[in-house]
Amino acid sequence: MNKNKKIAVFGGSGFLGKALLKLLINENYEIILFTRKKKIQQTLDKIFPDNNIKCAQWSIDNLQVLEKKIKNVNYIINLCGILYESKNGDFFKVHSDLPAILGKISSKNKIKSLIHVSALGVSELSASKYSRSKAEGERKLLENFPRGKILRPSLLYGEGDNFFGQFSDIASISPFLPVISRTTKFQPVFVEDVANAIIKLLENKKEKNSFYEFGGKSIYSFEELLKILLEVKNIKRVLIPLDPKLMMIPAFFLQHLPKPPFTVDQMKLLKKDNVLENNLPGLRELGIKPTEMKKELINIYR
Residue 283, Cβ density class (10 Å: 0-12 exposed, 13-18 middle, ≥19 buried): buried
Looking at residue 94, what DSSP letter applies? I
Instruction: Look at residues 131, 149, 156 and name the one whose alpha carbon lies nearest to residue 78.
Output: 149
Q: What is the DSSP letter of 149?
A: E
The one-letter code for the residue type at 38 is K
Distances (CA, A) of 299 to 48, 241, 293, 294: 22, 28, 10, 9
Are 149 and 183 within 8 A, CB to CB? no
Q: What is the dihedral of CA 100, 199, 51, 1, to 10 degrees?
A: -100
CA–CA gap between residue 65 and residue 43 (Å, rounded): 25
pTM for the whole thing?
0.93
In whole angstroms, give the CA distance from residue 26 to residue 233: 32
Residue ranges of domains in the chain: 6-156+189-215+275-286
Write down the architecture of domain 6-156+189-215+275-286 according to CATH: 3-Layer(aba) Sandwich (3.40)
Per-residue pLDDT of the chain (302 residues; tens, 9 = 90+): 455 689 999 998 889 999 999 999 999 899 999 988 777 777 777 777 777 788 888 888 877 778 888 878 999 999 999 999 988 899 999 999 999 999 999 999 989 999 999 999 999 999 999 999 999 999 999 999 999 999 999 999 999 898 999 899 999 999 999 888 888 999 999 999 999 999 999 988 788 899 999 999 999 999 999 999 999 999 999 999 988 778 787 877 777 777 777 788 988 998 899 999 999 999 999 999 999 999 999 999 98
pLDDT of residue 236: 94
Residue 142 one-letter amino acid: L
**Residue 183 amino acid letter:** T
Q: Give the C-alpha separation, 70 to 65, whole Å.
A: 9
- Specify the pairing of strand 211-214 against strand 238-242: unpaired
Residues 6+ apart with CB under 8 A from 284: 290
Q: What is the pLDDT of residue 2?
A: 55
Q: What share of the chain is helix, strand, coil (3-state, %, to 5)?
A: 40, 20, 40
Given a contact cutoff of 8 angstroms between Cβ atoms, the answer to whether 151 and 115 are in contact is: yes
